[in-house]
Amino acid sequence: MRPTIDGVDLDQLAALRSRDGSAALAAAAELTGQEPLAAVSALRARGFGPDLAGVALSQARLRDRAVGKFGADAYRLLFTKDGLEQATRPAVAARRAARLAQAGVRHLTDLGCGLGADAIAAARAGITVHAVDADPVTAAIIAYNATVLGLDIDVSCADARDVPLSAAGAAFCDPARRVTGSGARRTRDTRRVFDPADYSPPWDWVVQLPTLVPYTALKLAPGIEQSLLPEDCELELVSVDGDVVEAAAWCGPLAQVPRRAGVLRGRTAHELTGSGTRIARVGPTGDYVYDPDGAVVRSHLVAEYADLLDGRLGDESIAYVWSDAKVATPFGRAFAVDEVMPFSLKRLRTALRERNVGRVEILKRGSALDVEQLRRDLRLAGDEPASLLLTRVAGRPVAVIAHPV
C-alpha cells in the first residue's frame, strides 16, 4: 500500500510537483469557492485527470486556510490537514528560533518536524537544521516546502527514537498528539489524544531527551500536566492575540526562569516571568478589575501580574485581579467597574436596564452559570454596551457591571 496522509500519497505529491500539477493548483485556486464536486468537474473539463483534480483542489483549499498561519507563503507550499492544524504559528516559531540562536545554537535536530514551521524559522535564523519525521509523505512535503522557500534543510524520514543524537547541538521535539485508527484514512480516523503516554514519540522517551541532548526545547499542549515535565526545565505558556496556543519546555542550559508567559499581540511579544509558586494577596474589590491573559493564568504567574497592578484577588481561587489604579498592561484586559452586586437575576436585570444596556459581553471565572441562558433571561433592549463579569468575591457569587478601558 502506498504511504498516504489526508488522502495524499507520494505519487500524488510527485504529480503536484510536475508542470501539470502546477497548472492544476493554479486552476484549483480559482475554484475553491465552489462545491467540491462542481470544482472537480470544472478541473476535469480543463483536461486534468480525476486524481490530480481532486488532490489539487484539496491543496488549494488547505492553502486558503493556511494563510492565517503562513501568510502569503501559503500559496507556494503544500500541506496536510492535520499538519496544518498542528503547525506552529510563524510568529511563535520565529520567536523560538531567535531564542535558540541567542543561546548559541548553531545546529538543531527537529524531531517530529511535521510541516516544518519550526524548522523553517530556525533555518531563517541562521541555524543548520536536520528535520526528521516518521511519515514519508510529511517528510516529502517539508523537503518540497524548504526548497520552494530557498532554505537548506536536511530532511530525513525516520522514527525520532532511531536518530543518532550524540553529535546534535540542540534538539527540538514536537510530539504528535493525534493517532490514526489501524488501516483507516487519516482524514476520517485521526483523533486528538490528551494522555502524554499516547504521544508519538511516547512521553517516556520525550522526557528523557534532555539527558541525551542538554540543549532541548519541547513544544507541548497548553494543558500539559506540569508534574510530568523534565526536571529543572523552564515552562513557557504562549498566547497569540489572547488565545493560548502552546506550551514550551526549555531544558538544560536553555532554561532561564521557572515560569514564563509569552504574550504576542500583533507583532510585539511581551514576557512575564516568575516562580510559578507565589500566591497573590487577597483583598477588597476596587475601581478596576483585570482579566489576565490565559498564558499568565496557565503559567501560574497571577501573583506576578497582580504586582504590576498593585492589585489583589477578590477570592483566593479566582484569577481576576482587583486594583484602584488604571494600568496599561499587555498581560490582560482592564475593566472600569461600575457596580459589584451579589448575584441576583432580578437585581442584575434592573441594574442593566437602568443603564439602558442592550448589548453585553459576558465573561466568567468561578461561575457555573450558562452564559447564553443568562443572556436570554436578561431580556435586554437598550442601546448601550456593557461588560458583565460573573465571579466570586470572598467565596460569594457576584455580578460585576463594567466597561473595558
pLDDT at 198: 78
Q: Kindly state the cell numbers that stand for 66.
A: 493556511
126-135, 218-227, 392-401: range with lowest mean pLDDT: 218-227
Q: How many CA atoms lie within 13 A of 52 on its CB side?
A: 21
- Say whether both 90 and 217 belong to one domain: yes
Residue of 195 and 286 predicted with greater confidence: 286
- Say whether both 66 and 105 belong to one domain: no
Q: Using one digit for the tens of pLDDT, what is the confidence trace for 361-386?
A: 999 999 999 999 999 999 999 999 99
Read off the pLDDT of each residue in 293-314 and give the average, rounded to a whole number. 98
Burial class (CB in 10 A: 0-12, 13-18, 19+), 2: exposed
pLDDT over 60 (residue 155): yes
- Say whether both 62 and 101 belong to one domain: no
- Say whether both 223 and 319 belong to one domain: no
Domain count, the chain: 3
Residue 331 maps to a domain: yes
| All residues at 6 or more sequence positions from 108 whose CB lies less than 8 Å from its CB, including other chains | 100, 119, 122, 127, 128, 129, 130, 168, 169, 170, 171, 172
User: pTM for the full model?
Assistant: 0.89
Based on its alpha-carbon atoms, the radius of gyration of the chain, rounded to whole angstroms, reads 25
Q: Using one digit for the tens of pLDDT, what is the confidence trace for 119-147?
A: 999 999 999 999 999 999 999 999 999 99
User: Across the chain, what does the average pLDDT equal?
Assistant: 92
pLDDT at 366: 96
Residue of 103 and 167 predicted with greater confidence: 103
Cell 500539477, residue located = 21
Q: Of 233, 256, 279, which closes a domain? A: 256
pLDDT over 50 (residue 188): no
Residue of 154 and 176 predicted with greater confidence: 154
pLDDT at 68: 86
Indicate the residue type of 10: L
pLDDT at 365: 97
Give residue 49's domain range.
4-70
pLDDT at 7: 63
Distances (CA, A) of 119 to 28, 101, 311: 28, 13, 41
Q: Using one digit for the tens of pLDDT, what is the confidence trace for 73-101?
A: 999 999 999 899 989 999 999 999 999 99
- Say whether both 251 and 104 belong to one domain: yes
- Say whether both 227 and 95 belong to one domain: yes
Q: Using one digit for the tens of pLDDT, what is the confidence trace for 12-35?
A: 999 999 999 999 999 999 998 889
- Say whether both 136 and 221 belong to one domain: yes
d(CA 388, CA 340): 10
pLDDT over 70 (residue 225): yes
- Say whether both 46 and 104 belong to one domain: no
